[in-house]
């Protein structure tokens, strides 16, 4: 789209007249903040069936359409269903819907303003009577009659065709303590990154049910200094709303639309609220998902008819060569939830048909796992749950900033380690776009930026240890012994192998967090020629393989004994005792034990079987990783083989035999 535009004198008088001023402008550099609001005019309306306005070049950055400013042609504007392009004067007109968001689609080469928290200001909420009942977190107040005009300010950007965005899976603080974890991990780490991201793309569950935390979370993340494009998740809803159309009301007041789009470079991002809540109001959904009516106010992953129309209309006005990036909360399809209907998105076949022939990518969150699904991947459950057998483009389930819901023991920075159910650490994805090509690299929180994997060894003694704790964990809590049968201190050093360990089958594991079906993982033992490692989950139509034999020993050693559960004091503060995670009741102090997820299945573990005849002594393993759409990686492991198990603790028996001191 061209940046040429027509003088304001050619624009309609109704759009120019009246209205309050916008926020003060920022500095004039394209790389500096642009703080302003949209320009809403409230004069007499000649037509209640359409809403009109101008998308304009806000040359003085005050957010207001001034007489000497120009409209911008060819910009998409939408009411959440229809999408129109502005004319040569930057003018648009859209049909009125009784409950809608009217928004501009940020065009390539331009940027919309933000507020001082870097939340984009690009939309107007129209709900004349407001939320139909009082909602716990305030809902949306009556917006009153439709304005006479909604004008959208934009300014040129210098970001060009190449840019980086930080893709953020579930941030999900459930308390002010956990907002502090966001501040001390994500915000600090992105500030320390080599380059500031051009945007933050947060994939839903911005908070964990307490919507009062949204303003503080936005403010903490504003320290990064990048526009915050957010997706709504199932924990960002008004859970006391009675209908799906009202369940985003507080979100719309505090953030903005729950369905929208924006462009950067040669990419169009289509942001979708694919959480149907309460589900089953759509007749087709009610037929296909009977559980929606069996349970009171449950949710389901689905794209509803108006959303499919919106997607189709965005694509009709987008060049077929542009990269289409879908951003949603619930995975379109997934590994961890491959047999679950509500935790995947129902109507994928229809979406795939819409985008057929275009370069595309989906970015989702929700499962607190990192799943890099390549074109052609297939899982056994997909056909029955969402009606597809393979995927036609890459789907990334992006892990979680919160990891395993801010669980686990504390790391050196005082933030929970929170290793996820697939074995990956908490963190974010570095999404680097070059034209329509892109790379995806995971940045593990609290770890060196180039670390890409965990390495460990699976031994018979490790697997026996894990199986016994699994059995205890799976037993009814009210009848099992309160003390687990084993802890991490009962586990022999997995990198100190006996001959019996080798005879009983032991293997090196590489948990390559962003590994996919195109990834090459090789290991060199003691400097020998690199040999290929074997992926434990082929993604070729099989089901999920789980159990100690398919686990990540590195992750499980940190997940199956959590000392944080035992913390207590004599302070008298009940909130400082025991353990709480997410929106749960606080648990009283208890023996260290597994709480939260366990990495006994994963789509990104590779193994290399150690030969039974491996010589005694110290050995090295160097693992190298090559990825089609990401950085190469290298890591090393030092392990030992001894003829018999060694005593793990200080040998007092030998010490005490000698009394010659």
Taking the C-alpha atoms of residue 149 and residue 434, their distance in angstroms, rounded to an integer, is: 37
Q: HEC string of 498-555?
A: EHHHHHCCCEEEEEECCCCCCCEEEEEECCCCCEECEECCCCECCCCCCCHHHCCHHH
Residue 584's pLDDT band (boundaries 50, 70, 90)? confident
20-26: long-range contacts at Cβ-Cβ below 8 A with a sequence spacing of 24 or more? 21/62, 21/63, 21/64, 22/62, 22/63, 22/64, 22/153, 23/63, 23/113, 23/115, 23/116, 24/62, 25/60, 25/61, 25/62, 25/63, 26/61
Looking up tokens 């080798």, which residue turns up? 502
Across-strand partners of 454?
511
- Region 48-62: mean pLDDT is 97
More confident residue, 99 or 8: 99
The tens digit of pLDDT for each residue in 286-335 reads: 999 999 988 768 999 999 999 999 999 999 999 999 999 999 999 999 99
Joined together, the tokens standing for residue 578 give 């025991």
Classified as helix, coil or strand, 190 is helix
Q: Is the pLDDT of residue 15 over 60?
A: no
Q: Is the peptide bond before 625 cis (omega within 30 degrees of 0)?
A: no
Taking the C-alpha atoms of residue 170 and residue 602, their distance in angstroms, rounded to an integer, is: 19
Chain center to CA of 427: 10
Q: Is the pLDDT of residue 509 over 60?
A: yes
pTM for this model (two decimals): 0.94
Domains of the chain: 1-156 (2.60.40.10), 163-444 (3.60.21.10), 456-467+482-539+604-652 (2.60.40.10)
Taking the C-alpha atoms of residue 191 and residue 222, their distance in angstroms, rounded to an integer, is: 11
Asked if 600 contacts 507 with a C-beta cutoff of 8 angstroms, the reply is no
Give the helix ranges, DSSP H, for 242-355: 249-254, 283-288, 291-294, 305-316, 348-355
Asked if 38 contacts 63 with a C-beta cutoff of 8 angstroms, the reply is yes
Classified as helix, coil or strand, 156 is strand
Segment holding 471, helix H or strand E = helix 460-474
Q: HEC string of 603-639?
A: CCEEEEECCCCCCCEEEEEEEEEECCCCCCEEEEEEE
Joined together, the tokens standing for residue 476 give 């009814």
Tally of CA atoms within 13 A in the half-sphere of 202 that contains its CB: 29
The tens digit of pLDDT for each residue in 104-158 reads: 999 999 999 999 999 999 999 999 999 999 999 999 999 999 999 999 999 999 8
Task: Tell me which residue of 424, 422, 419 sits closest to 404, measured CA to CA.
Answer: 419
Looking up tokens 């300014």, which residue turns up? 155
Q: How many CB atoms lie within 10 A of CB 186?
A: 27
The contacts of residue 266 (CB under 8 Å, 6+ apart) are 108, 161, 321, 322, 323, 433, 435, 436
- Region 471-493: mean pLDDT is 96
- The per-residue pLDDT for 32 is 86
């Amino acid at each position: 789209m061209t940046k040429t535009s027509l003088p304001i004198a050619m624009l309609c008088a109704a759009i120019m007249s009246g209205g309050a001023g916008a926020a003060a402008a920022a500095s004039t550099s394209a790389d500096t903040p642009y703080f302003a609001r949209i320009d809403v005019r409230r004069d007499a309306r000649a037509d209640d069936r359409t809403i009109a306005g101008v998308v304009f070049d806000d040359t003085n950055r005050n957010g207001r359409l001034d007489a000497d400013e120009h409209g911008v042609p060819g910009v998409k504007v939408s009411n959440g269903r229809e999408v129109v392009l502005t004319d040569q004067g930057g003018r648009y007109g859209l049909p009125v819907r009784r409950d809608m968001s009217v928004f501009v689609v940020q065009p390539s080469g331009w940027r919309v303003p933000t507020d001082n928290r870097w939340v984009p200001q690009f939309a107007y909420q129209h709900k004349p009577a407001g939320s139909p009942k009082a909602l716990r977190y305030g809902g949306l107040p009556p917006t009153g009659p439709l304005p006479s005009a909604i004008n959208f300010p934009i300014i040129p950007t210098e970001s060009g065709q190449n840019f980086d965005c930080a893709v953020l899976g579930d941030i999900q603080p459930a308390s002010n303590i956990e907002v502090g974890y966001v501040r001390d991990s994500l915000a600090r780490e992105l500030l320390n990154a080599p380059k500031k991201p051009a945007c933050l793309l947060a994939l839903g569950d911005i908070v964990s049910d307490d919507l009062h935390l949204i303003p503080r979370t936005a403010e903490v993340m504003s320290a990064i200094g990048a526009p915050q494009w957010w997706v709504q998740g199932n924990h960002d809803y008004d859970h006391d709303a009675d209908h799906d159309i009202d369940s985003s009301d507080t979100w719309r007041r505090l953030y903005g639309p729950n369905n929208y789009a924006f462009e950067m470079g040669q990419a169009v991002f289509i942001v979708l609220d694919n959480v149907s809540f309460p589900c089953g109001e759509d007749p087709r959904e009610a037929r296909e998902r009977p559980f929606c009516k069996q349970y009171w106010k449950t949710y389901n992953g689905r794209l509803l008819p108006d959303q499919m129309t919106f997607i189709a209309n965005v694509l009709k006005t987008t060049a077929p060569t542009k990269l289409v990036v879908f951003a949603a909360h619930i995975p379109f399809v997934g590994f961890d939830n491959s047999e679950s209907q509500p935790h995947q998105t129902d109507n994928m076949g229809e979406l795939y048909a819409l985008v057929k022939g275009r370069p595309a990518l989906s970015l989702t969150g929700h499962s607190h796992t990192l799943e890099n699904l390549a074109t052609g991947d297939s899982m056994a459950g997909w056909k029955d749950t969402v009606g597809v057998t393979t995927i036609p483009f890459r789907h990334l389930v992006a892990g979680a900033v919160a990891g395993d819901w801010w669980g686990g023991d504390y790391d050196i920075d005082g933030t929970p380690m929170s290793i996820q159910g697939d074995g990956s650490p908490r963190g974010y994805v570095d999404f680097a776009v070059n034209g329509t090509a892109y790379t995806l690299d995971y940045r593990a929180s609290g770890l060196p930026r180039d670390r890409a994997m965990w390495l460990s060894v699976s031994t018979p003694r490790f697997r026996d240890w894990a199986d016994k704790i699994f059995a205890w964990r799976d037993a009814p809590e009210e009848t099992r012994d309160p003390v687990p049968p084993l802890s991490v201190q009962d586990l022999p050093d997995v990198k100190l192998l006996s001959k019996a360990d080798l005879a009983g089958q032991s293997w090196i594991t590489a948990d390559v967090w962003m590994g996919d079906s195109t990834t090459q993982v090789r290991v060199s033992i003691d400097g020998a020629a690199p040999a290929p490692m074997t992926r434990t989950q082929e993604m070729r139509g099989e089901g999920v393989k789980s159990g100690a034999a398919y686990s990540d020993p590195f992750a499980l050693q940190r997940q199956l004994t959590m000392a944080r559960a035992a913390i207590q004091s004599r302070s008298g503060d009940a909130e400082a005792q025991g353990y709480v995670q997410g929106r749960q009741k606080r648990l009283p102090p208890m023996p260290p034990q597994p709480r939260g997820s366990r990495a006994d299945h994963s789509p990104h573990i590779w193994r290399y079987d150690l030969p039974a005849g491996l010589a005694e002594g110290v050995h090295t393993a160097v693992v190298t990783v090559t990825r089609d759409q990401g950085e190469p990686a290298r890591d090393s492991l030092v392990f030992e083989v001894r003829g018999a198990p060694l005593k793990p603790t200080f040998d007092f028996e030998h010490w005490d035999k000698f009394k010659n001191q």
